[in-house]
Amino acid sequence: MSTPCVHYLDAVSEMAQYVEAIIHDNAQDKIWFLEHESVYTKGSSAKDADLLNPLFPVYETGRGGQFTYHGPGQLIGYCMFDLRHYKKDIKAYIQALEEWIIRFLKIIGIEAFLRADRVGVWVLHKGQEKKIAAIGVRVKKWITWHGFCLNIDPDLSHYKGIVPCGIKEFNMTSLTELGVKISKIDAEKKLKETFENIDFFKLPK
């Protein structure tokens, strides 16, 4: 079994339909792990000047954030949660996603951290701070969609076509560049295990 590769626009369409199902039919929360073909996506805060060289198709998307890259070698987690069941606090939700990724990285031997002036999850590589995971969310009637992307083994040169998340001074990295070998399936399993320990997502008894 392998992580499915889903065309970006197809995934957005399916997420939108599922969000409607949560709103109108009380569908259950869903975490969807997948990967995309190589694309650039443009968030609601993106600046046109940050698209340096469109090496791949560019899609506008309703999530927050700026330009990012998606492609083979990434593990993407699309999270569709009804925040009315947890906490109606978007900032706290984003912090919970960050905590989830940081805890996952810790159990595979990587110390990760946040920076108040920079979005995403960061690590040290050869003394330099680099970004290992990006987060971009959208919320409709307190239902979340989009989510995060974690770099396992993507072609990092593909980021050269954009200024990732509007941050010029720092580079992207991957688990492979950090010397950690893990399959996307094993990463999914460990993420699922780690998710159970995030307080934000524990429903009231």
Residue 203 included in any domain: no
Query: What would the pLDDT profile of 78-104 be if each residue is shown by its tens digit?
Result: 999 999 999 999 999 999 999 999 999
Q: Which domain holds residue 168?
A: 8-197
Q: Can you tell me the distance from the alpha carbon of 53 to that of 161, in angstroms, rounded to the nearest whole number?
A: 4
Residue 137 included in any domain: yes
Residue 204 included in any domain: no
Q: Are 47 and 166 in contact (CB under 8 A)?
A: yes
Quote the distance between the C-alpha of residue 11 and its chain's center.
Answer: 14
Residue 145 included in any domain: yes
165 counts as catalytic: yes
Residue 192 included in any domain: yes
pLDDT over 60 at 1, yes or no: no
Residue 106 included in any domain: yes
CATH number assigned to the domain comprising residue 186: 3.30.930.10
Count: domains in the chain: 1
Q: How many residues does the chain have?
A: 205
Residue 81 included in any domain: yes
Query: What would the pLDDT profile of 139-193 be if each residue is shown by its tens digit?
Result: 999 999 999 999 999 999 999 999 998 888 889 999 999 999 999 999 999 999 9
Query: What would the pLDDT profile of 110-145 be if each residue is shown by its tens digit?
Result: 999 999 888 899 999 999 999 999 999 999 999 999
**Catalytic-labelled residue, pool 5, 79, 149, 165:** 165
Residue 205 included in any domain: no
